[in-house]
Amino acid sequence: MSSAERPKEPAARLSVEQLRSDSNSYLGAGVGLGVFGLASGALLGAVCPLCIVATPALLGAGVYKRFCANRVVKQSAPAAPSAAAAAPTAEHSSG
């Protein structure tokens, strides 16, 4: 879907969706590369240096992007009244 075909949405919403998509991609790539490195280490007795460096980098980037997406959602959400103010207190009389 090209940018001309996309429905018009607020920029923040598109940004959040893009951050979530990127974070899922990074996390998936990090897990996949980690599994590959683990399997090659178990089967061949050696792990490529790229796997050792890239796996934590991809996982860290994915977690950071997910954190940023959640922060954007939190900042753009309207302020809700506090739980104490929203819930009425019911005092029960004895007897």
Domain annotation covers residue 33: yes
What angle (nearest 5°) sits at the alpha carbon of residue 23, between those of residues 75 and 79? Answer: 15
Q: What is the pLDDT of residue 61?
A: 94
Question: Looking at per-residue confidence, does 11 or 30 come out higher?
Answer: 30
Domain that holds residue 28: 22-76
pLDDT tens profile 36-89: 999 999 999 988 888 899 999 999 999 999 998 888 888 877 765 555 555 555
| Residue 75 burial (10 A CB sphere; 0-12, 13-18, 19+) | exposed
Domain annotation covers residue 88: no
The number of domains in the chain is 1
Domain annotation covers residue 84: no
Cα-flanking dihedrals φ and ψ of residue 91, to 5°? -95, 125
> What is the model's pTM?
0.65
Calculate the CA 16 to chain-centre distance: 10
Domain annotation covers residue 94: no
Domain annotation covers residue 57: yes
